[in-house]
Structure 1
């Protein structure tokens, strides 16, 4: 309505400016000695009609031209294009003249055709005896220019006030704080004793009383109805001890709300920010177990819809702590999504919190697969796990800070936070610092394993490169040796195969490259054109290969997977196997991948089992012709693509 009013005012303002002004004068006096004062007797009117023009009738008395009549009326094209009053002689009376024109007051400035002289209205003769020299003409009798100026100023003031009011309304709607009191007063009709806890991008959270219990009230504006509906739908489909439960939902006035349990300890981030707070090892493990269980539940599709859910905004401020300070609750499912059977472009949009956003999402190179979307959650989970581990009482780091804050400078050189994070995560490929060696020998293995788990979660697709067989020789530069401390005793009967780990009295080093049939020699005798070849590169060492995987086709067999000893337990093996599986699926040659190990490689067997491989069969005579490894037992694993 305000916009329509402003347009209306401007249109009328323009109409006033484009109106044609014409003088109006009629001589009815019989006594020619009486001087008619044009200031009092001439009228000035404007017209908006497009076909109207000014006209005048004049008379010649003894060489003087007198004004007989001035007016306004409908005219032909000749009058409309004429800008000056050119006197035409009346064919019936040679002493009478007339003119028409289409500019303001043009009939008061006529031009005689005979002498081409212009007579000003300051010399209008009303009769044949006197001349009025100092005649002042008011161009509009009913609207003076001073009055018009006042009206114009008033209109501009109204427009300015309208604009300021519109701007204020827009800003008030943009920032929730501005209408916080209005929201509180309206929603208090349903809830009592509202106390603001947090103001987010899409909602405001209050502490309040509902059904005689203290609860958290999450209030959305009407513009965020899709986010509200999404969160309601997802939370109703989820039943997990480490994911927040929805108590009630509804709409009041123009606001949408959720009623959620209230946790006095607040978010994990605020909890860790508390000065001099350190977590016990039991707290750390309990927190990590809660998160891992919740993410596994979502990604494995164990909810009522039996479909995978990706959260897309995992961060420490979206995690709550229970009153016993042992369990965590994942919250804020507003941007979470249930993955459909067929993925579309909208499922891979850049969404979430910049600090916790995966590198492939920041760079816009995320693979269009379900695994890639789950990996985005796993990356964010790794950062939260890092926040927890670094606050364990046995960990050497004492001061809590958010992920990547250690790499940010006090003066950002004018760069935005987003560009800083992009430079740290994508360009420089940095990750938060992890201290793997601790003084507490009792828990050193636990911390080391947790650090390895974090490494596996935040390794990215950008670290793995698929290459052609021209780079196969680079595998020779990646050590494949490992130390054997135990072996599997293999027991098989008609029903199942059992692997029993037996420690060795004397450990030894096994190096596949030093065996009689070296890897490079065996590859040279094979057609590797259609093989899947993957390399893990260390960018800080001039793209030095530190790991690799080979998939033989058409057998779809994992022929080799190796990681240099200094780079093991960093998640590189997991990333290589993940890429190998994804590539093999795309080839659509078979429904599973076969993997060969030996009973002497216990760590490899554990690794493949943890990655979802099933134990298939064994062969006790597979290596009987090789004197060095003739006593080893081949163990075959299979990864089903449809499981």
Structure 2
């Protein structure tokens, strides 16, 4: 084939394929509808707004509609929502289907917020066959010019478009949906307003402020995200909305709301309220007995175990994927009235769907003093097990915080200190933590008085195996649960055999 022809046509064809110079409409939300989930007699009330997941670099979000026409041509909508990166949807401002129905189903997609609110089917019309006396046939060089050259142009164009199409599709294959989403239902935040009265600010963190509030007759917690942290609010909503997240050691979710408009918009996350607050704040003001420490440690590890585990779909609920917290620390462990723990703050959490990559994520996130060595080095293997092991490193540090304030140790109980506070102070830089944890391989000091108690010495072994420099040698959350539960039963038996559990995080999915 003629190389010069390809070179001449390539810029034109690329411009044709990708719309160079045209503005790309941003798609962050779409109209959502699922006919199988809509049981209301008033179908209009089933329509809602879906907040689209943030796409990976070089990819786009679209909106789509899947519907079916009856014998009279009236459309029956099956599905509406967000759709990720399909080249057929690029630069389409309106949702229009022009192909013949596939299995009686019609599909269209478009770009731009809520562009799927309206949709239509406009079948292509075949050009009319010309009638009359045929023109005289052309001959000589005209045949080459008028027939061969256009054919070459078409072949080159089709080849380039097919190559580009295959490249784009290879990066992220996404079929047209023909059934309702599975295993995770597509949901969107409820934006209606509840009668909530804010009473008192309890904490202010990186992603917003937490208030004690009154909702009807119940005291609740309201975490308020400013508009610049909307993505963290969306992430928390997505995690809390997953099947099987109603667990006694996970903070109880009540709902989400958007308040205000434009730059004054706020995003509310409403959850259960726990008067005792975070484990960090509790340990600053209180010491714990051996029994209390075991109760906190075991319930905290059970929460992590539930978070990290996959749960198959059942008739009652859908599939729950493994979830990495990515900011596990004593500030994000809340204490209930009976001193059992529940895990909170999923703004950085990452979920892992079988057969799908982690997606567009940045590895070096979280709180510096709780970062594992591989996070500080920027040497994370972006796999599910690697992220779960990072949580377990932080779990070891929280166990150390508990042990430091436990009355089972001999002698006076020292003042509460954060992990590495003695080594790097209260406000360490990333370089401080890299030097301490990665280069010098320092870990929080374990006092000799702790090793004189049969239960605490076993807990020391557990925390050391959780914060092991070798990520693959770290314990799983389920193993921590087993070890702490065993010690709670054995103490005050003086002899403490080595715990039989030796599995690590990468085996957790088999348990």
Q: TM-score, normalised by structure 1?
A: 0.41
User: Within 5 A, what are the aligned runs for 1:161-180?
Assistant: none
Given the alignment of the two structures, is residue 419 of structure 1 paired with residue 431 of structure 2, yes or no? yes
Contact 1:387 1:403 in 2 (8 A): yes
- Offset of residue 264 of structure 1: 1.1
User: Within 5 A, what are the aligned runs for 1:74-473?
Assistant: 190-237=195-242, 238-253=245-260, 254-274=265-285, 277-302=286-311, 304-324=318-338, 326-340=339-353, 341-344=355-358, 346-347=360-361, 349-396=363-410, 397-408=413-424, 417-435=429-447, 438=450, 444-461=453-470
- Offset of residue 294 of structure 1: 0.8
1:284-312 Cα deviation digits (max 9, x unpaired): 00001011101111111238533110000
Change (3 A) 1:354 1:371: same
User: Within 5 A, what are the aligned runs for 1:542-561?
Assistant: none
1:329-366 Cα deviation digits (max 9, x unpaired): 11011110111333246345211111111110010112
- Offset of residue 228 of structure 1: 1.0
How far apart are the structure 2 equivalents of 1:640 and 1:377?
13
Residue 227 of structure 1 aligns to a residue whose secondary structure is helix
Change (3 A) 1:230 1:390: same
Contact 2:255 2:270 in 1 (8 A): yes
Residue 360 of structure 2 aligns to a residue whose secondary structure is helix
How far apart are the structure 1 equivalents of 2:372 and 2:311?
25
Change (3 A) 1:272 1:427: same
- Offset of residue 369 of structure 1: 2.5
- Offset of residue 453 of structure 1: 0.9
1:249-301 Cα deviation digits (max 9, x unpaired): 21121111111111111111111111xx2201111000010111011111112
How far apart are the structure 2 equivalents of 1:245 and 1:400?
28
> Between Structure 1 and Structure 2, how many residues are aligned?
286
How far apart are the structure 2 equivalents of 1:242 and 1:389?
20
Contact 1:188 1:194 in 2 (8 A): no
How far apart are the structure 1 equivalents of 2:257 and 2:241?
14
Q: TM-score, normalised by structure 2?
A: 0.51
Q: Which has the larger radius of gyration?
A: 1
- Offset of residue 422 of structure 1: 1.7
**For the aligned residues, what is the CA RMSD?**
3.2
Contact 2:200 2:212 in 1 (8 A): yes
Where do 5+ consecutive residues of structure 1 fail to align? 1-186, 465-570, 576-602, 614-638
User: Within 5 A, what are the aligned runs for 1:23-102?
Assistant: none
How far apart are the structure 2 equivalents of 1:378 and 1:640?
12
Change (3 A) 1:193 1:240: closer
Change (3 A) 1:231 1:641: closer
Residue 247 of structure 1 aligns to a residue whose secondary structure is strand
Tell me which residue corresponds to 2:74.
Answer: none
- Offset of residue 439 of structure 1: 7.7
Q: Which runs of 4+ in 1 moved over 6 A?
A: 639-643
Tell me which residue corresponds to 1:560.
Answer: none
Change (3 A) 1:263 1:641: closer
Residue 305 of structure 1 aligns to a residue whose secondary structure is coil
- Offset of residue 436 of structure 1: 5.3
How far apart are the structure 2 equivalents of 1:248 and 1:611?
35
Contact 1:207 1:216 in 2 (8 A): yes
1:502-537 Cα deviation digits (max 9, x unpaired): xxxxxxxxxxxxxxxxxxxxxxxxxxxxxxxxxxxx
Residue 321 of structure 2 aligns to a residue whose secondary structure is coil
- Offset of residue 437 of structure 1: 5.1
- Offset of residue 606 of structure 1: 3.6
Tell me which residue corresponds to 1:30.
Answer: none
Q: Identify the structure with bigger relative contact order (alpha carbons < 8 Å, sequence gap 6+).
A: 2
How far apart are the structure 2 equivalents of 1:261 and 1:338?
23
How far apart are the structure 2 equivalents of 1:331 and 1:640?
21
Contact 2:310 2:509 in 1 (8 A): no
1:19-67 Cα deviation digits (max 9, x unpaired): xxxxxxxxxxxxxxxxxxxxxxxxxxxxxxxxxxxxxxxxxxxxxxxxx
Change (3 A) 1:384 1:641: closer
1:366-424 Cα deviation digits (max 9, x unpaired): 223321111100001111111011111012452210000111369x9xxx622212211
Change (3 A) 1:264 1:457: same
Contact 1:348 1:373 in 2 (8 A): no
Residue 225 of structure 2 aligns to a residue whose secondary structure is strand
Change (3 A) 1:280 1:334: same
Residue 434 of structure 1 aligns to a residue whose secondary structure is coil
How far apart are the structure 1 equivalents of 2:469 and 2:280?
25
Residue 323 of structure 1 aligns to a residue whose secondary structure is coil
Tell me which residue corresponds to 1:530.
Answer: none
How far apart are the structure 1 equivalents of 2:294 and 2:470?
28
| Higher share of residues assigned strand | 1
How far apart are the structure 2 equivalents of 1:380 and 1:270?
17
